[in-house]
């Protein structure tokens, strides 16, 4: 025997605005929602960073100076193939050369995106620069035959990482309209 109230559960169940369903206000909530990234407000000024999305649209990606040619992608592919060939043939030189090509192409892309304010690569860039500074200082101290323990070198590495991280983060915020990071 069918129930006399077949839709009573459905009638009681309402979607709430915060539960993932459609907003209860309809057109009123859509009008109050922030404009999409890259848009301007009604008076023509760019919208504040707090209202913009942290998701960087693909259209904002910075083009390389060799724009129509896929140099970065080609270098990355050749580097990966060289690493693979070096692993198969067990030649250390090929592995290291391929790894160097991959690192160079990755750092070029990360630096270009970071300095344009497209995506934040603060940690990666600060780590690489800190490694270069620390290894250079260690090599210099080794050549000068200074018998220092390793802890002063670690202090220099930590201080340079913090300084570079803060400086790179500040540069990214300037170029990305106030965002500390963008995905």
52-96 per-position pLDDT tens digit: 566 666 666 677 778 788 888 899 999 999 999 999 999 999 999
Strand partners, 46: 40
129 and 111 inside one domain: no
Q: Tokens in use for 64?
A: 């390389």
110 and 130 inside one domain: no
- Domain span at residue 70 reads 65-116
Q: What span, in angstroms and rounded, lies between the C-alpha atoms of 4 and 8? A: 9
Q: Tokens in use for 58?
A: 């693909």
The number of domains in the chain is 2
Q: What is the dihedral of CA 130, 132, 133, 137, to 10 degrees?
A: 140
Which of helix, strand or coil describes residue 43? coil
104 and 127 inside one domain: no
Total-model pTM: 0.60
93-129 per-position pLDDT tens digit: 999 999 999 999 999 988 888 888 777 888 999 999 9
Establish if 163 belongs to a structural domain. Answer: yes
């Amino acid at each position: 025997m069918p129930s006399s109230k077949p839709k009573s559960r459905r009638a009681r169940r309402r979607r709430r605005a915060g539960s993932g369903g459609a907003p209860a206000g309809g057109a009123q909530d859509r009008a109050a929602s922030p404009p999409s990234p890259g848009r301007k407000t009604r008076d023509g000024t760019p919208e504040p960073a707090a209202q913009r999305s942290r998701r960087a649209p693909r259209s904002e990606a910075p083009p390389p100076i060799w724009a129509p040619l896929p140099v970065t992608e080609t270098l990355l592919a050749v580097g990966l193939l060289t690493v693979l060939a070096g692993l198969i043939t067990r030649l250390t030189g090929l592995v290291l050369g391929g790894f160097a090509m991959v690192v160079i192409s990755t750092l070029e892309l990360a630096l270009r995106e970071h300095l344009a304010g497209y995506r934040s690569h603060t940690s990666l860039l600060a780590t690489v620069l800190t490694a270069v500074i620390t290894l250079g200082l260690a090599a210099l101290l080794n050549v000068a035959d200074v018998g220092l323990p390793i802890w002063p070198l670690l202090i220099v590495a930590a201080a340079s990482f913090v300084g570079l991280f803060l400086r790179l983060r500040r540069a990214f915020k300037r170029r990305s309209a106030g965002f500390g990071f963008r995905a």
